[in-house]
Structure 1
């Protein structure tokens, strides 16, 4: 099982890796920069080398970066749209230097323009940024459907991917809380949901999982993560999900509202139930 939490990189990538290992994780997710801003620290060459060394020594699995929430590639505001493209391009360059495998992106909110216009703007932005020379794969995250979000149905995500020129550089991050909140019943009809995903997008595009329980009920269209086993999805359904043949080898990233001590308990709980 490849599993890890979201960890801050404010003290460097080496320390983030040590924090992950200290709680029994073998991977982790991190924000590329301030999640609600634009500031970013310059890469430290010594820290990078120590990070590369510990990754190799401890065999840390594929890592996932997360683009900040301030990026909205579906925005109707030109300055916000341009800002998002600048941030994403800079972050892809940095992540390539760090040898990070995946980067996750919230598709964006159309702010009243409509889903189709939002999809067109997202795809146009990605086509202006993605290049074949980068090793990092960009993942479009499944969303919950709050507000004017784009990407809360499998059809919307497929529509974005269809418009991407370099399709091999794009995949999907499957967020269990978001999918459940969007109306896909992974508790009672998991096989149906996965079959639908496969028919519309293709399971080969599902690269990683955001593993979260949900504070809100099915089809609530609310983005409220919960600790594993404490929400409306529940432990049994989560175990059933991650042991499904289509999912069992995918990297799992916890975004539950918890500190490292609770993440340690979540990881142990899931390993005990699944391994």
Structure 2
């Protein structure tokens, strides 16, 4: 069965809270940080309601989850204190990951900051070698994430990742997390030539190292090197391409993790569209949300059809406008989904629905999928 879930919170009751949140989205896998992603403060992992969380996971068939390393880990830094903190803290995170019974921790490879790429490559390889050597007793693998290439971050190309792996001693515990937004923004054509992209990856790095896939649409055109995630179907990649990736015959054994942004106009009430995104990608929207939901989505299609609005054309045209027309961007900074939501609100199409419920239906419409013909996977 397709393993698909999202990033969830590990706060409050730890694994129990995370598992329950994942269940609420219809997930059968999920990804967590074992503490805040931007600092080193950590609660003892032993006190994070692990047994209770595992009970929920077992009940819902969650046999594989993923941990993400904190963003503050930068093995590419030339500053000794930053580098040493990165090594020490990553080793501790791997021990916490092992205690959870998780086999992969996702890591942004690192950035060379004021130095150069050659220095960054050597420094990161040195750090990975040291980290792996100090955690040999855990068996946890480091899943290096494919990056978009913004700033001085490393891991933009498959060749760079392969070179990095080759320079690490005893690299059997190095795997890869492929992020769809990142490789799109790095220049790989996953919309029209995903099979070719996979072939490139296999020849350069090896499909046997691929361990996790992050599912994110992109707010930017291919090759932009920006790393700005969009909800599924609301970006340049589009639902059709994302669906093909999720159901690709060579990837079916992997966990797919959504990191799409939270949306909403009411501060404090923003919500991710994880539940509907998962149902769309899995193909069980009718089962998950019911016939009335599908009828509402069809009503949205009829409404925008009368106004001459096509879901893909509209999304791409607004992103193009925001990127290439400074005057338009200054006059109207609203992103595509927000503009579409406002049009539905102005027309009072669903006065009885909450903002989240309208956005769920809007997300389903943006997929362009025939919801009645979908089959569960």
- Could you state the TM-score of these two structures normalised by the residue count of structure 1? 0.95
Question: What residue ranges of structure 2 are gaps of 5+ in the alignment?
Answer: 263-269, 284-373
2:55 to 53, 56, 61: 53
Task: Judge conservation of contact 2:11–2:35 (CA < 8 Å) in 1.
Answer: no
Residue 276 of structure 2 corresponds to residue 265 of structure 1: yes
Match of 2:352 in 1: none
Match of 2:250 in 1: 246
Deviation at 1:166, TM superposition (A): 2.5
Task: Judge conservation of contact 1:4–1:25 (CA < 8 Å) in 2.
Answer: yes
Match of 1:204 in 2: 208
Task: Judge conservation of contact 1:2–1:61 (CA < 8 Å) in 2.
Answer: no
Q: How does 1:115-264 map to 2 (within 5 A)?
A: 115-130=117-132, 131-258=135-262, 262-264=273-275
Match of 1:73 in 2: 75
Helix, strand or coil for the counterpart of 2:273? Answer: helix
Q: How does 1:64-103 map to 2 (within 5 A)?
A: 64-103=66-105
Moved more, 166-175 or 53-62: 53-62
Deviation at 1:261, TM superposition (A): 5.6
Deviation at 1:260, TM superposition (A): 5.6
Distance in 2, matches of 1:46 and 1:112, equals 39
Distance in 2, matches of 1:76 and 1:167, equals 22
Moved more, 37-46 or 177-186: 37-46
Deviation at 1:119, TM superposition (A): 1.3
- 1:214-265, Cα deviation, whole Å (9 max, x unpaired): 0111000001000001100000111111222222221100000026661101
Q: Would you say how many aligned residue pairs link Structure 1 and Structure 2? A: 275
Distance in 1, matches of 2:75 and 2:48, equals 34
Moved more, 240-249 or 3-12: 240-249
- 1:30-77, Cα deviation, whole Å (9 max, x unpaired): 113211111111124471221233333332131111111111100122
Match of 2:34 in 1: 32
Helix, strand or coil for the counterpart of 2:45? Answer: coil
Distance in 2, matches of 1:230 and 1:30, equals 24
Match of 1:2 in 2: 3
Go from structure 1 to structure 2 and tell me whether the alpha carbon gap of 1:67 and 1:237 turns closer, same or farther (over 3 Å shift): same
Distance in 1, matches of 2:45 and 2:271, equals 25
Go from structure 1 to structure 2 and tell me whether the alpha carbon gap of 1:69 and 1:17 turns closer, same or farther (over 3 Å shift): same
Distance in 2, matches of 1:145 and 1:261, equals 25
- 1:98-134, Cα deviation, whole Å (9 max, x unpaired): 1112100000111132222111111111111214321
Helix, strand or coil for the counterpart of 2:143? Answer: strand
Task: Judge conservation of contact 2:260–2:272 (CA < 8 Å) in 1.
Answer: no
Which structure shows the higher helix fraction? 2
Match of 2:337 in 1: none
Distance in 2, matches of 1:121 and 1:51, equals 38
